[in-house]
């Protein structure tokens, strides 16, 4: 049964310092927070890549093409002249492609988010409800249990007000 | 998918430019001489009889749901004693650039290969768009299930569907007669001749104010009449390109005389 | 809940649905059925229409029709293209007669009265009973020696049926075979009799005339032969020669024809006759009349100088002379006198005046003028008419009355007391196939076929300058348990027996008809020329729908002379009942364009067809000039009480600029108290409040003969009209060009 | 009466507790409200509608020239209401406006629910609603597709796109809160929220991608929202009918939509903060900000409205003139018109004054007035143009039947019902963003 | 156990659903006729051409079911002893037509002229199946008691396929205006 050690902090800056320290000494760390800390974490632990923008763009492009294929293709499949307009009109096609572009853009972005954030996942994981409320968690896992001692020491000295050894649940 | 794509590419060439549809088989056209029309209403009743148009009764008439596909509008100018009365029969104008056709989301109304603006009853879902877009108010809606009292239903024309509740309908230029005439012509291996097809209204018009024919055939009666200097079309400024051509009424009155 | 369970449930559901669907076709609602013919009728192909030529009996014009029949059901009625009267066209009334055939309110079986009279309480009987009841009654009558107290009242029937009925009555021994309709054109007939000495309404060649002067003749909707006149009107307006005939309408209320006229002369009601004479005077005075007897005409017309007439008719003298000029000079011109003029108490003289006009302008016997018809078969006994019947009945000199296809109770004024007098008649038998007001009073109802189920023929009057005969053949087999009127009479004859039986040995009206035509064929040389054998001729009749010569007959000249006419010209303008103060407004009535004298009121199509001039449906109205209305404080659509010295009715106000401010006008035809679900209690019947006044010579009932007063009352029901607004607002909807422009145009074209 | 600004000394834990309380603690008042709204929905909408489906459109007051009536007016109205929620939330998110945080959740919910209501109205006004699926593009055995030139097809696509994206926007935004709720609740709720939260833990990666994705959603939503309402306007503007055929309509409708939507938010927030007593999160500051927005929109709207009338007047054709006179000077429409002007152009000007802005009462009245006015606007556009089309002979006035009116009432019941359910099943105030608003806890200040 | 009951309930409900759906939306594909007339005997064994009985097919929309007289034309002599023929005779003597049940039932809004198709040379079997081997007319082919393919679904797509492609077999080109709505609908 794999175990992990979780330190709960009240303040973000202390947490980040501890995180830096532990990361520096080569532990794999995970930060839990009740609020997004994007800016701070980037600042402390370095920028992270953003693949979603590519996805969004691809999605929009695909959507646009889909729109064109849908409008023109269906018109071509069953030709019914109406209103003296062309069977392949430009403006409505663009308009619908615009809508579909946005729609698929949204869909791709959603997929991107779920994939990258590894959601949904109902597997058993390290988690502590406190981090959803007001304490910031710093999890170290994938290490032998004898290391837990000094990890806890580090956390304590950086001002973790509680350190737990937790199991996946 | 490949076939689908090449279908598209093949058709791209034809259907790109607007107005490609001018290559129709026919362009059925009606010419109405307003100077002959005396507004007697025989055409209205002929239309009722031919097209299984239901009688809606007093209440619905009061709600302006009278069903007649063809109505005779009457306009009164001036005060006693110099009163000018003018009649004009208005039915579906079968516009070449029909606003209703672009409006319908489900292709229930479209332009068929005879240049007619047709309504497919069984496709209609009743969004009212066509009727709202129609500048001539000629579309009629089946507000409820109008039943034909026994045994009046014996007179129903089997060539025409009895429309169900919730669908839009309108004048078809008696397409069932066109169909029969074409069928006959096909059996005899010839084209449809001029004057062979007569919609009910044209057939019954006592003063002979109405004429029906194919405008594409230059020798047809309508083609000749359409050249008359009295020709005009209803609300032409809306650029709907109607297939119904009116000939101006000859009359001494101030209104409506100025040329465009 | 775990995902697995969810899937399980899904699976179960799917399987269940599948199984259900598969076993679903164990029990089915029965599908549609295919009923084959037992024994297929010849020349009938399901899904392919047959056309049978026949005769339209909706009015007395006698148009030829084609009936479209599919699978043994009549589907549509159109004009017979070969027929010289309506030339393939047909009016709304004619087309709607289909709904008379399939009307839900038809009498489906012979009926015998059970409760007391007029309560509409009948019991169904068989035809045998019905015929025997009636024949017993007739037998007892003749045994009592009261055969002459049998009355037969029919509509204006011509042709073989007329002969049959006539010979029946004669052989039975009763002189009292009367014909009555509200619009019977007796005055017109008599006028042409006294002026031209022709016993037939002449043919007015509107098609070729260049100047049509119409005295209240609404030929576009109801007058004499609307379809043929409308066709001619089209010819007149836009004929081949490109010259456009002018139409001048003289009437107090703008009728449909007036609406199409180039000029409208709203003369004072009742003075049109005087106006006509004044025009005639002007023609003679200004020397447009070139005849040798001009002087005597002038003498005759003295006292009708436009100057005096202008005062009476409220038409300016200048206008009169102008009309006289145009009418006298244009060649050919034509003057016609219609219902409005004919239905004053001295309408006959008005029509005579119109004929004088035609004579003075030299229009008689010329193309585009008045073309006399050869003598018709009709000899109407003006004296012995509905009024006479009413008198006899109230003096209880009528023992038995047979009624067919006419409805006097509805079409005669209350003041005439028709209904009361009918109550005096011990036995009334009706052959109507609808429960109209008269039939409701009958003791025995033997429903006859409608015209689409029956045999018959007709000799049009007015014809078109040459004789036209139309054949009526059954387009469909009888829809209900009814019987042809001819067959009823014949079987009645058998029932009565004796002399009558010997006189009529035919076992069916169709045989009678065929024999009658055999006779015609053997007599007429044109007919003989047209076919070798009679059967061939008969087939021709059936296929063409009638008989008429291919080339027009010669127009025979008739002379009109001043002397003799004098007696028929009345010196005064027509009188109106009621004093000016109490009843300030003239009431003029006219035939409803789609119900005529009320016979069309039971056809839903006609009820829903908007009236051409007011667009009112399902009901009727009273036309009031807006100025009059505002002075009375009445608004559009309000209900008013229309009160004459003879009664009061309610009507809805329709504000109508096309009517004299001192006149109100109502259509006849609505306001039935019986006559089926569509006709009953829609609108009101203006005939009720008319006085009983007749033309002294023809005993034609005067319809425009009383004054009324109108006052607002609580609305009974709503007036429903189709129109929204009648103002064009300069939207160029009906575009027009002036006649001058039109002339110029024609020159350019030609 | 709440206070001016949100107290920064609210603790994180308090936020969680408050929000979870709004979902778990339920008084009888709530149930009464819920039941009654359900009853209104069923009695005023479902019953008449089923009657209408059975009897046909004949039971409505629609007739020959006026084929569109209250139903379409409601459709446009609800689309309009829907407009502000998501749009505002997105715009304010992009511009990092702090006061957005505590109101955007319920605003987005409002969007979703009103779009839903609007979408249903499309089917209510249809002649044969049982064939509604014919208006969806899908491969079928008839081999027949759809007319993508029809403005109605634009509608179908745009609205469905809008609905889906706003739902996604709403859901993604509330995953962390759902997780927070999941940790607090028990019983069936636990199961539901476990599924809904998708196993969110609040790790740095999750937060990272959430932020990025959320930004993109916001970016996508804004043009979509704008396009949706302009497309709705084309349903009318693309017809030739005088009074409808106006190029100004697209902006007119968009502005009107945002306007009514914002007003809708104000009304909703006022009710919400009282009902859930969360005054400390939704403060007077919010109303003051929204008030400013309302004033701006009101001015914009009035301008375009004048412009619309002006163009008609300037054209000076018989068609335009008749339509205008009918709308502005013919009772009963004249009354409606001038009431509309009063509600939309004048009453909001009150909000220029801070006192009025920060008075809940005034805000409530004004926002309600605006919504009444906007509804009237939509009704007038439709009900006064169609009866005055080109051919005067076919002029016939339209007056709604009781079925239509009750359906209109019922739609409000429907909306209320949905919103009440939402309040109980969803964190109606964003927990984590409120926390952000309170500020990130730092030992030694911010660096 | 609880779950099991749940499944039972769901299964039953959905079964009823499917059952009703079938009864409402899909017609009986091989109905029972008042007289078990066998096309196998007439068209198959005795090789009677279709047009001999369905007389109107060549010149009308309707093919027409044979009128009773036509049946009697032969059966006043042939097999008069068989009980089935006697039922037929009884109909004839009672002078009432035979209520055949419609198998190919097109909705009212479809205009299908037999005439045109027959004249174009489309064999009857193309749509009506191999009636020469059917005892009872049916619209579905059955193997192992499971209906697996209909002779003709009578659905729009099916018509169009023929109008577009298969028509070329008969008239060389696709049907003129063959995909125009009003060609087949009214």
Instruction: Specify the number of domains making up chain B.
Output: 1
Taking 60 as the threshold, does the pLDDT of residue C26 lie above it?
A: no
Q: Is residue D445 included in any domain, yes or no?
A: no
* Chain A stretch 64-103, residues whose beta carbon is closer than 8 A to a beta carbon of chain D: 70-71, 74-75, 77-78, 80, 82-83, 85, 89, 92-93, 95-96, 98-100, 102-103
Joined tokens for residue C719: 């007036």
Nearest-CB residue to B101 (from A72, A79, A83): A83
Joined tokens for residue C137: 């009654």
Q: Which residue has the higher pLDDT, C382 or D19?
A: D19
Please answer yes or no on whether D149 and B123 come within 8 Å at the CB atom. Answer: no
* Predicted pLDDT of residue C36: 78
Range of the domain at B60: 27-247
The reply to whether C397 and C533 lie within a common domain is: yes
In whole angstroms, give the CA distance from residue B169 to residue B155.
20
* Chain D stretch 209-248, residues whose beta carbon is closer than 8 A to a beta carbon of chain A: 209-213, 216-217, 220-221, 223-224, 227, 231
In whole angstroms, give the CA distance from residue C110 to residue C123.
9
A69 neighbourhood in chain B, CB within 8 Å? 8
The reply to whether C486 and C443 lie within a common domain is: yes
Q: Is residue B160 included in any domain, yes or no?
A: yes
Average pLDDT over residues D95-109: 88
Q: Summarize pLDDT for B29-84 with one digit per residue, the tens.
A: 999 999 999 999 999 999 999 999 999 999 999 999 999 999 999 999 888 888 99
Instruction: Provide the residue count of chain A.
Output: 169
Nearest-CB residue to E60 (from C28, C37, C48): C48
The reply to whether C249 and C323 lie within a common domain is: yes
Please answer yes or no on whether A92 and D146 come within 8 Å at the CB atom. Answer: no
* Predicted pLDDT of residue B10: 66
Range of the domain at C272: 186-371
* Predicted pLDDT of residue C552: 64
Please answer yes or no on whether C20 and E19 come within 8 Å at the CB atom. Answer: yes
pTM confidence score: 0.91
Average pLDDT over residues C661-674: 92
Q: Does C11 touch chain E (CB under 8 A)?
A: no
Q: Which residue has the higher pLDDT, B224 or C3?
A: B224
Q: Does E174 touch chain B (CB under 8 A)?
A: no
Q: Is residue D268 included in any domain, yes or no?
A: yes
**Under an 8 Å CB criterion, which residues of E touch C?**
3, 6-7, 10-23, 26-29, 31, 56, 59-62, 64-69, 92, 95-103, 105
**Under an 8 Å CB criterion, which residues of E touch A?**
179, 181
D396 neighbourhood in chain C, CB within 8 Å? 724
Instruction: Say if CB C510 and CB C455 are below 8 A apart.
Output: yes
Q: Summarize pLDDT for B115-172 with one digit per residue, the tens.
A: 899 999 999 999 999 999 999 999 999 999 998 888 899 999 999 999 999 999 999 9
C730 neighbourhood in chain D, CB within 8 Å? 318
* Chain B stretch 211-230, residues whose beta carbon is closer than 8 A to a beta carbon of chain D: none
Band (D270; pLDDT cuts 50, 70, 90): very high
The torsion angles phi and psi of C742, rounded to 5 degrees, stand at -60, -45
Nearest-CB residue to C89 (from B75, B156, B204): B204
Helices (H), C497-559: 498-503, 509-523, 525-530, 534-544
The torsion angles phi and psi of C648, rounded to 5 degrees, stand at -140, 145
Average pLDDT over residues E35-59: 89
- Nearest CA to CA, how far is C31 from chain E (Å)? 6
Average pLDDT over residues D178-207: 89
Average pLDDT over residues D289-303: 93
Q: Summarize pLDDT for A34-57 with one digit per residue, the tens.
A: 988 888 888 888 888 888 989 999
Q: Summarize pLDDT for D360-386 with one digit per residue, the tens.
A: 999 999 999 999 999 999 999 999 999
Give me the long-range contacts of C492-495 (CB less than 8 A, separation at least 24). Answer: C492/C131, C492/C134, C492/C135, C492/C138, C492/C168, C493/C168, C493/C171, C494/C135, C495/C131, C495/C132, C495/C134, C495/C135, C495/C136, C495/C138
Q: Which residue has the higher pLDDT, B211 or D10?
A: B211
In whole angstroms, give the CA distance from residue C456 to residue C452.
10
- Nearest CA to CA, how far is D133 from chain C (Å)? 22
Show Cβ contacts of residue B121 under 8 Å, excluding neighbours closer than 6 positions. Answer: B108, B161, B163, B164, B167, B168, B169, E109, E185
Taking 90 as the threshold, does the pLDDT of residue C627 lie above it?
A: yes
Find, among D74, D152, D25, D165, the residue nearest to D414 by Cα: D74
Q: Is residue B15 included in any domain, yes or no?
A: no
What DSSP string runs through C31-75?
Answer: --EE---SSPPTT--TTS-EEEEEE--SSTT--EEEEEEETTEEE
B and C: number of Cβ contacts within 8 A = 260
Angle at D179 between CA D175 and CA D185, to 5 degrees: 135
B241 neighbourhood in chain A, CB within 8 Å? 84
The reply to whether C325 and C255 lie within a common domain is: yes
Please answer yes or no on whether C725 and D191 come within 8 Å at the CB atom. Answer: no
Q: What is the CATH number of the domain that holds D207?
A: 1.20.1630.10
The reply to whether C175 and C192 lie within a common domain is: no
Q: Is residue C75 included in any domain, yes or no?
A: no
Q: Is residue B70 included in any domain, yes or no?
A: yes
Q: Does A80 touch chain E (CB under 8 A)?
A: yes
* Predicted pLDDT of residue B259: 39
In whole angstroms, give the CA distance from residue C450 to residue C107.
11
**Count of other CB atoms within 10 angstroms of residue C631:** 10
Q: Is residue B115 included in any domain, yes or no?
A: yes
Taking 90 as the threshold, does the pLDDT of residue A110 lie above it?
A: yes
Please answer yes or no on whether E109 and B118 come within 8 Å at the CB atom. Answer: no
User: Where on the phi/psi map is residue C703: left (φ > 0), alpha (ψ -120 to 50), or beta?
Assistant: alpha
Joined tokens for residue C291: 């005849």
C594 neighbourhood in chain B, CB within 8 Å? 41
Q: What is the CATH number of the domain that holds C715?
A: 2.40.40.20
Q: Is residue D84 included in any domain, yes or no?
A: yes
The reply to whether C362 and C405 lie within a common domain is: no
Band (C54; pLDDT cuts 50, 70, 90): very high
Instruction: Say if CB B106 and CB B123 are below 8 A apart.
Output: yes
Q: Is residue D444 included in any domain, yes or no?
A: no
Q: Which subunits sit against B, judged by 3+ Cβ pairs under 8 A?
A: A, C, D, E
Q: Is residue D335 included in any domain, yes or no?
A: yes
The reply to whether C320 and C444 lie within a common domain is: no
Q: Summarize pLDDT for C150-171 with one digit per residue, the tens.
A: 999 999 888 899 999 999 999 9
Please answer yes or no on whether D240 and B90 come within 8 Å at the CB atom. Answer: no
* Predicted pLDDT of residue B19: 47
Helices (H), C267-316: 272-285, 294-301, 306-313
- Nearest CA to CA, how far is A80 from chain B (Å)? 6
Residue with tokens 């599908």, as numbered in its chain = C31
Q: Is residue D143 included in any domain, yes or no?
A: no
The reply to whether C325 and C405 lie within a common domain is: no
C565-569, C662-666, D173-177: range with lowest mean pLDDT = C565-569
In whole angstroms, give the CA distance from residue B119 to residue B124.
8
Please answer yes or no on whether D224 and A102 come within 8 Å at the CB atom. Answer: yes
Which of the listed residues C319, C349, C371 is the one where a domain comes to its end?
C371
Q: Is residue D363 included in any domain, yes or no?
A: yes
Taking 70 as the threshold, does the pLDDT of residue C739 lie above it?
A: yes
* Predicted pLDDT of residue C16: 78
Please answer yes or no on whether D144 and E156 come within 8 Å at the CB atom. Answer: yes
Average pLDDT over residues C463-488: 91
Buried b (16+ CB within 10 A) or exposed e, A27-38: bebbbbbbbbbb
Helix (DSSP H) and strand (DSSP E) numbers for chain C: 27, 29
* Distance (Å) of CA D432 to CA D175, D270, D380, D440: 10, 22, 44, 11
Band (B258; pLDDT cuts 50, 70, 90): very low
Q: Is residue D236 included in any domain, yes or no?
A: yes
Band (C33; pLDDT cuts 50, 70, 90): confident
Q: Which residue has the higher pLDDT, C480 or E137?
A: C480
Q: Is residue B7 included in any domain, yes or no?
A: no
**Count of other CB atoms within 10 angstroms of residue D289:** 18
Taking 70 as the threshold, does the pLDDT of residue E150 lie above it?
A: no
Please answer yes or no on whether E68 and C37 come within 8 Å at the CB atom. Answer: yes
In whole angstroms, give the CA distance from residue E35 to residue C591.
59
Band (C79; pLDDT cuts 50, 70, 90): very high
Taking 50 as the threshold, does the pLDDT of residue D447 lie above it?
A: no
In whole angstroms, give the CA distance from residue C176 to residue C169.
8
CA-based diameter of chain C, in Å? 120
Nearest residue in D to E156, CA atom: D142
Show Cβ contacts of residue C112 under 8 Å, excluding neighbours closer than 6 positions. Answer: C122, C123, C124, C125, C129, C130, C133, C443, C444, C445
The percentage of residues in chain D with a pLDDT greater than 70, rounded to a whole number, is 98
Taking 70 as the threshold, does the pLDDT of residue E142 lie above it?
A: no
Q: Does E58 touch chain B (CB under 8 A)?
A: no
Q: Summarize pLDDT for C397-421 with one digit per residue, the tens.
A: 999 999 999 999 999 998 888 999 9
Please answer yes or no on whether E99 and C33 come within 8 Å at the CB atom. Answer: yes
Q: Is residue C556 included in any domain, yes or no?
A: no
Band (D176; pLDDT cuts 50, 70, 90): very high
Residue with tokens 């000899």, as numbered in its chain = C379
The percentage of residues in chain D with a pLDDT greater than 90, rounded to a whole number, is 64
Q: What is the CATH number of the domain that holds B225?
A: 3.30.70.20
The reply to whether C505 and C422 lie within a common domain is: yes
Q: Is residue B191 included in any domain, yes or no?
A: yes
The reply to whether C394 and C351 lie within a common domain is: no
Range of the domain at D61: 2-137+150-438
In whole angstroms, give the CA distance from residue B207 to residue C111.
43
* Predicted pLDDT of residue E103: 84
The reply to whether C203 and C245 lie within a common domain is: yes
ipTM of the complex: 0.91
D394 neighbourhood in chain B, CB within 8 Å? 64, 73, 137
Instruction: Specify the number of domains making up chain D.
Output: 1
Average pLDDT over residues D415-440: 90
Taking 90 as the threshold, does the pLDDT of residue A88 lie above it?
A: no
Nearest residue in E to B113, CA atom: E177
Q: Is residue B198 included in any domain, yes or no?
A: yes
Q: Is residue C578 included in any domain, yes or no?
A: no
Please answer yes or no on whether B250 and C722 come within 8 Å at the CB atom. Answer: no
Nearest-CB residue to D443 (from A13, A98, A118): A13
* Predicted pLDDT of residue C42: 73
Average pLDDT over residues C12-39: 71
Instruction: Specify the number of domains making up chain C.
Output: 4
């Amino acid at each position: 049964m794999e175990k992990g050690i979780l330190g709960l902090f009240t303040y973000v800056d202390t947490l980040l310092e501890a995180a830096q320290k532990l990361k520096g000494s080569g532990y794999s760390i995970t930060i839990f927070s009740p609020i997004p800390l994007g800016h701070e974490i980037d600042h402390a632990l370095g920028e992270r890549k953003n693949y979603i923008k590519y996805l969004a763009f691809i999605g929009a492009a695909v959507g646009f093409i889909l729109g064109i294929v849908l409008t023109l293709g269906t018109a071509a499949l069953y030709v019914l002249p109406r209103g003296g307009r062309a069977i392949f009109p430009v403006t409505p096609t663009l308009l619908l492609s615009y809508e579909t572009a946005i729609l698929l853009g949204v869909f791709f972005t959603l997929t991107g988010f779920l994939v990258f954030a590894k959601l949904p996942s109902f597997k058993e994981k390290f988690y502590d409800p406190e981090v959803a409320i007001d304490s910031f968690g710093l999890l170290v896992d994938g290490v032998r249990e004898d290391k837990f001692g000094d990890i806890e020491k580090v956390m304590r000295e950086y001002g973790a007000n509680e350190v737990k050894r937790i199991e996946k649940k | 998918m490949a076939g689908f794509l090449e279908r598209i590419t093949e058709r791209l060439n034809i259907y790109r430019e607007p107005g490609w549809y001018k290559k129709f088989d026919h362009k059925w056209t009606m010419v109405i001489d307003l100077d002959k029309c005396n507004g007697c209403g025989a055409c209205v009743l002929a239309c009722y009889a031919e097209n299984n148009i239901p009688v809606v009764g007093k209440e619905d008439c009061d709600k302006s749901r009278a069903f007649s596909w063809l109505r005779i509008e009457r306009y009164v100018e001036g005060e006693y004693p110099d009163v000018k009365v003018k009649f004009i029969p208005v039915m579906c104008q079968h516009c070449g650039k029909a606003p209703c056709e672009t409006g319908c989301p489900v292709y229930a109304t479209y332009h068929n290969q005879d240049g007619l603006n047709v309504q497919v009853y069984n496709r209609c879902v009743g969004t009212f768009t066509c009727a709202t877009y129609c500048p001539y108010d000629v579309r009629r809606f089946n507000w409820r299930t109008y039943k034909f009292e026994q045994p009046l239903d014996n007179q129903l024309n089997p060539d025409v569907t009895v429309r169900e509740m919730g669908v839009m309908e309108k004048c078809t230029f008696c397409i069932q007669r066109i169909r029969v005439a074409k069928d006959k012509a096909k059996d005899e291996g010839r084209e449809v001749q001029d004057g062979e097809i007569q919609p009910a209204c044209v057939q019954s018009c006592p003063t002979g104010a109405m004429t029906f024919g194919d405008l594409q055939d230059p020798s047809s009666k309508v083609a000749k009449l359409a050249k008359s200097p009295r020709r005009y079309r209803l609300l032409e400024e809306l650029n709907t390109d109607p297939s119904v051509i009116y000939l101006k009424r000859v009359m001494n009155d101030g209104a409506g005389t100025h040329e465009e | 809940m775990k995902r697995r369970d969810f899937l399980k449930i899904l699976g179960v559901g799917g399987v269940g649905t599948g199984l259900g669907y598969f076993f679903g076709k164990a029990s089915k609602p029965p599908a549609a059925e295919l009923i084959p013919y037992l024994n297929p009728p010849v020349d009938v192909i399901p899904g392919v229409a047959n056309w049978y030529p026949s005769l339209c009996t909706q009015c007395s014009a006698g148009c030829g029709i084609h009936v479209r029949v599919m699978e043994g059901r009549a589907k549509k009625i159109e004009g017979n293209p070969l027929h010289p009267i309506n030339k393939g066209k047909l009016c709304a009334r004619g087309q709607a007669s289909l709904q008379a055939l399939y009307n839900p309110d038809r009498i489906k079986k012979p009926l015998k009265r059970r409760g007391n009279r007029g309560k509409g309480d009948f019991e169904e009987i068989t035809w045998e009973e019905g015929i025997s009841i009636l024949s017993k009654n007739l037998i007892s009558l003749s045994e009592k020696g009261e055969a002459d107290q049998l009355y037969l009242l029919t509509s204006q029937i011509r042709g073989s049926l007329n002969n049959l009925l006539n010979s029946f009555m004669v052989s039975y021994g009763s002189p009292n075979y009367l014909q009555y309709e509200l619009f019977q054109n007796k005055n017109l007939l008599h006028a042409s009799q006294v002026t031209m000495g022709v016993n037939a309404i002449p043919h007015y060649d509107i098609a070729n005339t260049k100047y049509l002067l119409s005295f209240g003749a609404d030929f576009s909707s109801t007058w004499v032969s609307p379809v043929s006149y409308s066709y001619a009107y089209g010819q007149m307006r836009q004929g081949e020669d490109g010259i456009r005939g002018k139409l001048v309408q003289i009437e107090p209320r703008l009728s449909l024809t007036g609406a199409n006229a180039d000029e409208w002369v709203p003369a004072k009601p009742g003075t049109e006759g005087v106006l006509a004479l004044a025009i005639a005077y002007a023609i003679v005075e200004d020397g447009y009349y070139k005849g040798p007897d001009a002087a005597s005409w002038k003498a005759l017309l003295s006292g009708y100088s436009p100057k005096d007439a202008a005062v009476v008719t409220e038409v300016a003298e200048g206008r009169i002379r102008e009309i006289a000029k145009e009418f006298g000079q244009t060649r050919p011109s034509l003057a016609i006198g219609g219902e409005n003029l004919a239905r004053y108490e001295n309408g006959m003289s008005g029509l005579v005046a119109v004929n004088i006009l035609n004579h003075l302008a030299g229009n008689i016997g010329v193309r585009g003028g008045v073309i006399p018809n050869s003598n018709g078969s009709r000899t109407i006994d003006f004296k012995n008419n509905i009024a006479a019947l009413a008198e006899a009945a109230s003096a209880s000199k009528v023992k038995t009355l047979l009624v067919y296809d006419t409805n006097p109770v509805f079409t005669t004024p209350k003041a005439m007391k028709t209904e009361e007098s009918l109550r005096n008649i011990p036995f009334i038998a009706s052959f109507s196939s609808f429960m109209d007001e008269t039939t409701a009073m009958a003791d025995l109802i033997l429903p006859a076929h409608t015209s689409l189920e029956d045999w018959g023929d007709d000799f049009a009057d007015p014809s078109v300058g040459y004789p036209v005969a139309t054949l009526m053949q059954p387009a469909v087999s009888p829809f209900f348990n009814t019987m042809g009127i001819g067959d009823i009479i014949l079987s009645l004859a058998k029932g009565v027996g004796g002399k009558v039986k010997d006189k009529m040995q035919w076992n069916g009206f169709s045989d009678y008809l065929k024999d009658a035509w055999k006779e015609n064929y053997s007599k007429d040389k044109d007919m003989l020329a047209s076919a070798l054998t009679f059967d061939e001729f008969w087939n021709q009749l059936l296929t063409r729908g009638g008989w008429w010569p291919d080339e027009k007959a010669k127009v025979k000249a008739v002379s009109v002379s001043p002397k003799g006419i004098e007696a028929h010209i009345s010196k005064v303008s027509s009188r109106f009942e009621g004093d000016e103060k109490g009843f300030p407004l003239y009431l003029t009535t006219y035939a409803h364009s789609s119900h005529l004298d009320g016979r069309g009121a039971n056809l839903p199509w006609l009820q829903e067809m908007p009236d051409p001039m007011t667009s009112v449906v399902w009901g009727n109205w009273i036309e009031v000039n807006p100025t009059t209305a505002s002075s009375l404080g009445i608004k559009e659509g309000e209900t008013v009480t229309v009160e004459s010295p003879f009664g009061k009715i309610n009507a809805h106000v329709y504000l109508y600029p096309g009517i004299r401010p001192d006149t109100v006008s109502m259509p006849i035809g609505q306001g039935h108290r019986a006559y089926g679900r569509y006709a009953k209690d829609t609108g009101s019947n203006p005939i009720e409040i008319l006085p009983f006044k007749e033309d002294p010579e023809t005993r034609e009932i005067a319809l425009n003969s009383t004054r009324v007063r109108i006052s607002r009352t609580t609305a009974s029901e709503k007036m429903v009209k189709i129109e929204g607004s009648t103002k064009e607002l300069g939207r160029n909807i009906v575009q027009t060009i002036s006649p001058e422009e039109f002339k110029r145009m024609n020159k350019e074209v030609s | 009466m709440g206070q001016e600004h949100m107290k920064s000394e609210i603790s994180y834990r308090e936020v969680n507790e408050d929000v979870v309380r709004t979902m778990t603690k339920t008084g009888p008042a709530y149930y009464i409200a819920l039941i009654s709204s359900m009853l209104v929905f069923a009695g005023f909408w479902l019953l008449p509608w089923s009657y209408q489906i059975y009897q046909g459109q004949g039971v409505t007051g629609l007739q020959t020239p006026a084929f569109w009536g209250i139903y379409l007016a409601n459709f446009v109205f609800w689309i309009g209401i829907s407009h502000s929620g998501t749009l505002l939330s997105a715009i304010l998110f992009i511009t990092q406006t702090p006061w957005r945080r505590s109101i955007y959740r319920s605003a987005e919910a409002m969007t979703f629910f009103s779009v839903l209501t609007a979408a249903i109205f499309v089917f209510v006004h249809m002649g044969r609603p049982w064939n509604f699926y014919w208006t969806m593009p899908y491969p079928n055995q008839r081999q027949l597709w759809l007319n993508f030139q029809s403005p109605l097809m634009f509608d179908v696509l745009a609205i469905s796109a809008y609905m889906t994206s706003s739902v996604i926007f709403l859901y993604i935004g509330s995953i962390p809160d759902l997780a927070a709720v999941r940790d607090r609740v028990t019983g069936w709720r636990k199961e539901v929220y476990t599924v809904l939260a998708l196993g969110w833990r609040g790790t740095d990666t999750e937060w990272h991608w959430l932020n990025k994705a959320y930004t993109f959603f916001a970016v996508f939503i804004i043009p979509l929202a704008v396009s949706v309402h302009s497309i709705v306007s084309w349903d009318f503007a693309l017809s030739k009918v005088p009074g409808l055929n106006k190029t100004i309509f697209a902006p007119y409708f968009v502005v009107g939509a945002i306007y009514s939507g914002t007003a809708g938010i104000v009304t909703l927030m006022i009710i919400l903060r009282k009902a859930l007593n969360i005054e400390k999160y939704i403060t007077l500051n919010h109303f003051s900000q929204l008030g400013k927005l309302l004033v701006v929109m009101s001015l914009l709207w009035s301008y375009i409205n004048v412009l619309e009338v002006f163009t008609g007047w300037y054209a000076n054709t018989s068609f335009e003139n008749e339509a205008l006179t009918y709308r502005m000077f013919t009772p009963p429409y004249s009354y409606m018109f001038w009431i509309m002007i009063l509600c939309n152009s004048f009453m909001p000007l009150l909000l220029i004054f801070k006192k009025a802005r920060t008075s809940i009462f005034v805000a409530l009245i004004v926002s309600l007035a605006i919504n009444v006015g906007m509804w009237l606007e939509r009704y007038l556009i439709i009900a006064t143009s169609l009866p005055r089309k080109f051919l005067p002979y076919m002029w016939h006035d339209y007056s709604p039947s009781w079925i239509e009116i009750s359906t209109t009432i019922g739609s409000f019941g429907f909306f209320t019902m949905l919103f009440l359910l939402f309040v109980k099943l969803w964190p109606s105030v964003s927990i984590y963003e409120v926390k952000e608003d309170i500020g990130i806890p730092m030992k030694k200040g911010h660096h | 156990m609880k779950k099991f009951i749940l499944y039972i309930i769901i299964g039953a409900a959905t079964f009823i659903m499917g059952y009703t759906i079938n009864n409402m939306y899909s017609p009986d594909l091989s109905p029972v006729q008042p007289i078990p007339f066998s096309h196998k005997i007439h068209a198959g064994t005795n090789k009677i051409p279709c047009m001999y009985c369905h007389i109107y097919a060549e010149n009308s929309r309707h093919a027409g079911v044979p009128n009773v007289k036509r049946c009697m034309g032969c059966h006043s002599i042939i097999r008069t002893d068989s009980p089935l023929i006697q039922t037929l005779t009884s109909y004839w003597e009672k002078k009432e037509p035979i209520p055949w049940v419609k198998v190919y039932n097109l909705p009212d809004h479809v205009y299908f002229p037999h005439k045109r198709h027959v004249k174009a040379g489309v064999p009857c079997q193309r749509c009506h199946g191999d009636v020469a081997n059917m005892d009872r007319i049916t619209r579905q082919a059955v193997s192992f008691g499971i209906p697996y393919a209909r002779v003709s679904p009578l659905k729009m797509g099916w018509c169009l396929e023929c109008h577009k492609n298969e028509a070329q077999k008969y008239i060389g080109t696709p049907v003129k205006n063959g995909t125009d709505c009003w060609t087949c609908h009214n």
